[in-house]
Structure formats: C-alpha cells, structure tokens
Amino acid sequence: MNQNDSGRAGRPARGYADTTGHSHHHEVLTSEQLQALGQRRKDAEQKLERHQLEARSKESLHETDSNPADPADNSR
C-alpha cells in the first residue's frame, strides 16, 4: 500500500478532488467565516437580480425601438 492509498478502494486520497471536481476535504468554518460567506452570497444574488432586471429592461427597450408603431396603422 503506497502513501496515497489509504485503503479506500476507488476513492482518491484525502484532500483531492474526485472526477466530478468535488473535494472530499472539508474544513470547519468559524461563525464569522460563515456569516461573511452568507453575506457575500446574499450580495451576489442581489447583484445578479439587478443585472437580470437591467438586461430585461434593455431587451424590452430594444424590441420597441426595432418595432416602432406604424403611424398609418389605426387599428389600435
């Protein structure tokens, strides 16, 4: 048995990512680290939502600019 083989058949040595890229080495985070992580995630979600709203707004403006109402069209 070599140094990297810890008796776990088919599993990578501790601290290495498996074939899916998931690390099997987990650290225990402090409450401060968890709070910071939660805040960063919340900020990122809010930023994503703002960007999505902005993109939708630009998209709707672009659609109305590219399809102006026909002034001769009196069907409305």
In a domain, 56, yes or no: yes
pTM: 0.48
In a domain, 14, yes or no: no
Beta bridge partners of 23: 17
In a domain, 33, yes or no: yes
Confidence (pLDDT) at 26:
76
In a domain, 35, yes or no: yes
Instruction: Output phi, psi for 7, to 5 deg.
Output: 90, 5
Gap between the Cα atoms of 20 and 17, Å rounded = 7
Domains identified in the chain, total number: 1
In a domain, 54, yes or no: yes
In a domain, 21, yes or no: no
In a domain, 34, yes or no: yes
For each successive 10 residues of the chain (76 residues), what is the average pLDDT? 53 60 78 97 98 92 68 56
Range of the domain at 38: 29-66
Residues 6+ apart with CB under 8 A from 18: 11, 12, 24
